Amino acid sequence: MEGGQPPGDKAESIWEHIAELSRRLRVVFYTVIVATSFFMVFPANKSFLQNPLAFYDPIIASVLRQVIKDTLPAGIELIAGEFTAPLEIYLIASLILGIGVSAPVIAYETYRYVAPALYPHEQRAIYPFVLAFTVLFVIGATFGYKVLTPFILWGMLPFFRLTGAVAIIGVMDFYNLVFITTLVSGFSFTMPAFFVLLVRFGILKTSFVTTRRRYIYAALYIVCAVVTPDGGPLADIALFVPMALLLEVAVFFGKRYEKEPRTSAWFPEEKQVYTKCRFCGGLLTKNDVFCPSCGRSRV
């Protein structure tokens, strides 16, 4: 290991790094465009093959209808509100699904770009982190879509009756609520994965949570209240409870890593070897070309 760089890494110019980043960003961009176009254009049923000239429903139309079926309570009607609202939803929903389908490619290109800068023990820590992040995000997104979104909409229904308002929601407001709640819930559930990773790298200790639980839980509830769109305190509690449980699970696993002997994530794993300068007797590492004491070259 020379110059403090990970094994097998070679020094590259800034332009080489920029060129590699540009190449990987192009791969991600083209993948997202292709996936988004697929949802926007590809037919949702086989009837298109019998009559290609007929107007057909693309996949995104079936997805949006399924969202209404899964989350919209009975008695609520959707209206366009604005003339361009359906088109905006069509494009936004296709892009969100395109990014979701492209997530493995995005993750792979990101990893391949940063992997040369990681030490072996850091690379070993990445794999369980990515797995935990993916699983927790899927669980959180499912919770946000199946539980939290219907709960928020259901919680708003009594206020329509109390105020004498007709239960009609703009289509943009409805789908924004569904998409935002699902994504926020998904990313919120990944918090334990980051916490355990920081503990494993020695950046954070579990005692930070165990000695400040009341303050951390208060801050966590405030965050849940901020990120939860509408729904009132019941929706905030519905997100806060699983988040608090996941935090305790993260502390449990974090303590296991604290008990394991490890080196810091910011330094090489092997022991530093010193030699003596032949001129002044000062200590030299194998990365030192000039003696830090007398300034003479070791060769």
Locate the domains of the chain by residue range: 1-118, 130-261
**Rounded Cα gap, residues 161 and 158, in angstroms:** 5
pLDDT at 209: 85
**Rounded Cα gap, residues 256 and 224, in angstroms:** 28
E-state strands within 156-289? 168-170, 274-276, 283-285
Using the structure block, give the residue that is written with the tokens 């032949």: 278
- Phi/psi-derived region of residue 283, left when phi > 0, alpha when psi is between -120 and 50, beta in every other case: beta
Q: Are 239 and 228 in contact (CB under 8 A)?
A: yes
**Rounded Cα gap, residues 216 and 240, in angstroms:** 12
76 pLDDT higher than 70: yes
**Residue 185 vs residues 100, 109, 144, 178: alpha-carbon distances, Å:** 15, 25, 5, 11
262 pLDDT higher than 80: no
186 pLDDT higher than 70: yes
pLDDT at 230: 61
pLDDT (average), residues 226-252: 80
Backbone angles phi, psi at 290, to 5 degrees: -115, 145
* pLDDT tens digits, one per residue of 85-131: 888 999 999 998 998 888 888 888 888 888 777 777 777 777 788 88
- Between 226 and 214, name the one with better pLDDT: 214
**Rounded Cα gap, residues 159 and 122, in angstroms:** 52
- Between 64 and 224, name the one with better pLDDT: 64
What average pLDDT does the structure give for the chain?
80
pLDDT at 72: 86
74's tokens: 């009975």
